[in-house]
Amino acid sequence: MGWGGSENYGLFRFDLMRSRGNRKNLEIDLHQVHLFDIDVPGKITFKESEILSPGDQFTMFKTPHCTVGVGICYDIRFAEMAQIYANKGCHLLLYPGAFNMTTGPKHWELLQRGRALDNQVYVATASPARDTGAGYVAWGHSCVVDPWGEVIAATDEKESVIYADIDLEKQEEMRKMIPLKQQKRHDLYHSPSMNVDKDRRGDLYQVNS
C-alpha cells in the first residue's frame, strides 16, 4: 500500500497482490473525514481544521479477494467509521497514517487492534518511516492485525515492506466462534441518549449500515 499527496487529500496507490503473483495497480482518491485537531499540553498541538477541510464521504472498493474500507490517519480513532465499513461488508480496513512520537507509542497499535477486534476485520496500516530531522516526526510501525486482534505482521520505524495473508475463511471461523453481529442490540443503540454528539461526524454515521 503506497500513499502520496497532501495531508488530508491523497492519491493512494494500492499494489494489490493477485493470484499467481500478478500485480495490478488501483488508484483511488480519498479524503480524511475527521480532522486532526488535538492539544496535548507540552507534547503536541495540531489544528488541521485551520488549513484543511474534511472529506465528506467514505471510500470502499472491491478486489477479486475481498472488500476494503479506507480511512486516513486520525480516522482510525473513530469507531463508528470502522463499524459502518464492517456492516457494509468490508473484510479489511486500510489506514494510511502518520502518528507522531506522542500518540504513536501509546495509541497506534492499540487502535488498530481495537478496530479489528470490535468489527472482526483485518486492519492494515501504512506509515511513513521515521525521519528525526523532519518538522513532524512520524512514529512509523506499519502493521497488519487479524480479526482476533493479533498483530500478524509489523515493522519498526525504518523503511520496509511487510506482507500478511488476508484469510477470509479464518475470519468467518472467528465470526462463528464469537457471533457479535447476530448478538448486537440494535434495539438499544438507537435510543436518544445514544445519539452521537455534534462534534463527531454524525452527518456521515447515519448512512444505512
Ligand X SMILES: O=C(O)CCC(=O)C(=O)O
Q: In the bound complex, what is the minimum distance in angstroms from residue 54's beta carbon to ligand X? A: 11
Kindly tell me which of 128 and 147 has the beta carbon lying closer to ligand X: 128
Say whether residue 127 binds ligand X (CB under 6 A): no
Binding mask 65-94 for ligand X (x = CB under 6 A): --------xx--x-----------------
Kindly tell me which of 103 and 142 has the beta carbon lying closer to ligand X: 103
Q: How far is 111 from 101, CA to CA, in rounded Å?
A: 15
Of 146, 157, 104, 107, which Cα lies nearest the Cα of 124? 146
By CB under 6 A, how many residues form the interface with ligand X? 9
Q: In the bound complex, what is the minimum distance in angstroms from residue 61's beta carbon to ligand X? A: 21
**109-119 and 79-87 are packed helices; what angle lies between their axes, rounded to 10 degrees?**
40
The DSSP 8-state label assigned to residue 194 in this structure reads G
**Alpha-carbon torsion (29, 96, 92, 33), positive or negative:** negative
Binding mask 25-54 for ligand X (x = CB under 6 A): -----------x------------------
Q: The C-alpha cell of 28 is what? A: 483511488
